[in-house]
Each structure stands twice: as structure tokens, then as C-alpha cells.
Amino acid sequence: MSSEATPDERAEQTTETPPETPLDTARHQLNRAASYIDIDPNIVERLTYPTAVHEVTIPLKRDDGTVEIFNGYRAQHDSVRGPFKGGLRYHPHVNREEVMGLAMWMTWKCAVVDLPFGGAKGGVNVDPKTLSKDETERLTRRFTNELRNVIGPQTDIPAPDMGTDAQTMAWIMDTYSVQEAETTTAVVTGKPTAIGGSKGREEAPGRSVAIVARELLNYYDYQLSEATVAVQGFGSVGANAARLLDEWGATVVAVSDINGAAYDPTGLETHAIPSHEQEPEAVTHYAEETISNDALLELDVDLLIPAAIGNVITEANAADIQADLIVEGANGPITFIADSILADREIHVVPDILANAGGVTVSYFEWIQDINHRTWSLDRVNEELETVMIDAWDAVRHEVEARDVTWRDAAYIVALSRIAAAHESRGLWP
Ligand code: NAD
């Protein structure tokens, strides 16, 4: 990159080669944010690589007595602001490079909401649907044993992700606690409430998406009571976001699952439609009128919330998006090329690292509760979440206004500035 280029030009240059993997994406975002701020290039160089990637093999005794070997990973990106934090996923595509990229992504996400955590991600390359419950438990306990020396309540705190859940976290917590000979609830978050899980954790990413959506609508002078909203995905993130916005007075005209969307231009009764958890993939069964997921994305609404999977708004459909505003509920729903098309069309996009950070924020609350052996009420969790999200929103809004950048660039600038300040203060040893 030419140092003579303006920040805008340098940022532009970094979009020339579209990234393909989560690692490319995370590095691209790092370089793009770095191009806007006065940051020591040595810090950027350090942040380009993870602190460590732990790779283990996990022998699983199947129910029929045969032994199968799986690969397990834990990538720890940066811990300058606090312990590593991030999910563990069970998915056949999990690999070293993917967890490295997703760990970096977690570093940015924790920093944008100002949590005292760094980023990590891990997982096992297994299809959890092919495992019995007993096999999943054995795999999880053995994986925990292999990671035992690199995780801990003050070092690295895993959480659920794709293919893992509260039960998985309970097994990890139990295995770790037995080995340490003391009950250590704070070693993981996303646990059942019976063993130190937090109230409000499950709804938190959807709640933060709704909070950010409310602020974004307000910022651009839309009345919530008159705003129309379409939500792709009716799972943990999408259903909670859609229902909250509905409760707050917005008109939710479409929600979808993998089979298609329920559509009503006068507004859906979002509580009457089962979420993914209540009845999987049943959204269209409860609809009088249905449309496709592609059509949902192109509805002429005030606000679109893609909250299902990644890469749904691409070069192919970005020109056809009719929404004025987009809040990313899912991780990475918009490709790089699509993002620049939307920016050119002046469609404002709030990025995933800010919008769905409610999940990791309430994980942080869970960790605080565990360490202090205290339980917070649901009201307290939601109030504190509101405070964290509004503070983060204000910090990002400030960058949008001060630098005339997109919401995505502003969020990464906020995150990287905080991480860089911590690295500056601590220095490089030796
Ligand atoms: P979920 O499994 O609870 O629900 C996913 C929903 O998306 C379901 O309604 C499903 O039918 C629908 N869906 C799946 N494939 C689809 C497709 N091809 N087209 C349209 N709809 C499809 O998942 P979730 O926990 O709500 O996660 C959704 C997204 O949010 C993911 O990108 C996830 O990584 C991200 N996210 C989740 C959390 C969390 O804590 N749950 C936190 C941050 C980010």
C-alpha cells in the first residue's frame, strides 16, 4: 500500500481483491481500519497473526466400539485487553484457517463493545448430526481434556457456536472442574442456568440486533411505529430481533426460515409464528401468504435484517436490494463486493460485529456472575446490555460523523483503536 494515498484511497485499494475465507475477511478489515487511523504498523503486523493455534486429535469411541479420530482446534488471536473469548463449533468444515479468521473476528467484536476480552475460536471437524448423545459427550469431554492447559477462566473462555449448545458447555465445565478438583463455572459461558448460565443469554444477540435497529431507524429519522421490517432467518437471532421490534411498534412484514418467508404487508403477528427452537423450519406453515427468501431480501422495506446465514447479499442481488437500512444479524451476510455496491447506493449497513455483539456481551455478564458467585435478574441483564450497546453505538456513530465513513468502517475503527491503544500501553516484550 502506498503511504501517499489518502485514507479513502488506501481503503479502496484494500477492496480490490475480494477476500474468500474468514481469515482473508478479518485481515482485510484489519488493513482497512488501519488505513484510517494513526497506528504503529508493527501493531498491525502483530494483529495479522494469531497468538497461538492449538491443534489436537480426538479419538472417539463410537457406540459400536470402533474408534474414529477427529481434528480439534483452538485459535487464540489476541489477548491484550483480557482473556481470549469465542465459540467452539462442531461442523465438518472446521479447519485451522477458518478458526484463525473467526478468532480475529472475535477480537474486533469484543473490542467494539468494549469488553475486557480478546478473540478466540475453535471447534472439531465433525458433523454433530452423525453422533449419538453419548458420542457427543465423549467427544466433548476428550476435546476438553486436550485443551485443558490452554483454556481457563482467566485465559480462554469458550462458548457455544454452530453445532454446540448449553449442554456441550455443561460437559466442558464439568470435565474441566473435575480435573481441577474445583467447580469452575467461569471456564465457559452459554451454560444452563442451573450451573451458572446467565438469564437472557439466549435472547441477547437478537436483543442487541433490535436495539441497534431501533437506534439506526431513529438516527435516519424513521418513526419505529411507522417502520417496515423484513427479517431473514427465524432462529435465535432473527426471531428474538423480529419479536422485540414488533413489540416496540415496528411493522414486521416478512420473516423466513430455510423453506421460505411468511409475508403480510400489514404486519405479521411474530409471536404466533414458531421460532426455529419452538418448531424448526415451520415458518411457512403458519403463513397465509408466502414468498421466497430471495424475494424477502428484495422487499421495499425501511429495514432489512439478514439473520440466517452468511453471504446472502452478493454481487448478484445487491443492486436489487430495496431496503433503506440493513442491520446484519447473521455473521457476514454481505460479501465485500455487495457491501461496496450497497454503499454506492447509499444503503446504510450496520455490521455484525456491532449488531449481534449482545451474545458475547451477555457471555461477559455470565462470566462476571460466575466469578462473583452472584446471579443477576433478567431485568438487570437487559438493562446492562442496553447500556453496553448504546455506549458502543455512540462510539461508532461518533466515527461515522467525524470521518464520514460507513458504519462498518466506523465499527472497525473503534475496535482497532481500542486494541491499538492497549498494545501501545503494554508494549512488546522483550
Ligand atoms: P438458528 O439455527 O437458531 O436459526 C437460523 C435460522 O435461519 C432458521 O430459521 C433457519 O431455518 C434459517 N435458515 C437457515 N438456512 C437458511 C437459508 N439458506 N435461507 C434462509 N434461512 C435460512 O441460528 P442463529 O443462532 O439464529 O444464528 C443465525 C446467524 O447469526 C448465524 O450467522 C450465526 O453465526 C449468527 N450469530 C448467532 C449468535 C447466537 O448466539 N445465536 C450470535 C452471533 C451471531
Task: For a ligand 1 pocket test, name from 231, 234, 257 the mutation site with the most ligand atoms within 8 angstroms of its C-beta.
Answer: 257
Do domains 50-182 and 204-350 share one topology? The answer is yes
Angle, CA 365 vertex, CA 125 and CA 250 arms, to 5°: 90
Name residues contacting ligand 1 (CB within 6 A): 205, 232-238, 256-258, 276, 281, 293, 307-310, 329-331, 356, 359
Q: How far is the CA of 355 from the centre of ligand 1 (A)?
A: 14
Domain ranges (residues) in the chain: 50-182, 204-350
Residues 6+ apart with CB under 8 A from 285: none
The low-confidence residues of the chain, meaning pLDDT below 50, are 1-19
Q: Which of 85, 121, 191, 199 is catalytic?
A: 121
The closest of 183, 186, 194, 268 to 229, measured between CA atoms, is 268
pLDDT of residue 4: 42
- CA separation for the pair 224, 389 (Å, rounded): 18
pLDDT of residue 16: 44
- CA separation for the pair 264, 287 (Å, rounded): 8
Q: How far is the CA of 282 from the centre of ligand 1 (A)?
A: 14
The closest of 148, 88, 156 to 124, measured between CA atoms, is 88
Atom of ligand 1 nearest to the CA of 238: 26
Superfamily for 50-182?
Answer: Leucine Dehydrogenase, chain A, domain 1 (3.40.50.10860)
pLDDT of residue 32: 94
Q: How far is the CA of 63 from the centre of ligand 1 (A)?
A: 30
pLDDT of residue 2: 36
Asked if 121 is an active-site residue, the reply is yes
pLDDT of residue 8: 47
Task: Give pLDDT tens digits for 323-339.
Answer: 999 999 999 999 989 99
pLDDT of residue 122: 98
> Which residue is closest in CA terms to ligand 1's atom 10?
257
Q: How far is the CA of 273 from the centre of ligand 1 (A)?
A: 16
User: What is the number of alpha carbons within 13 Å of residue 163 lying toward its C-beta?
Assistant: 21
> Which residue is closest in CA terms to ligand 1's atom 38?
205
- C-beta of residue 227 within 8 angstroms of C-beta of residue 250: yes
Task: For a ligand 1 pocket test, name from 276, 312, 363 the mutation site with the most ligand atoms within 8 angstroms of its C-beta.
Answer: 276
Q: How far is the CA of 331 from the centre of ligand 1 (A)?
A: 9
> Which residue is closest in CA terms to ligand 1's atom 17?
258
User: CATH assignment of 204-350?
Assistant: 3.40.50.720
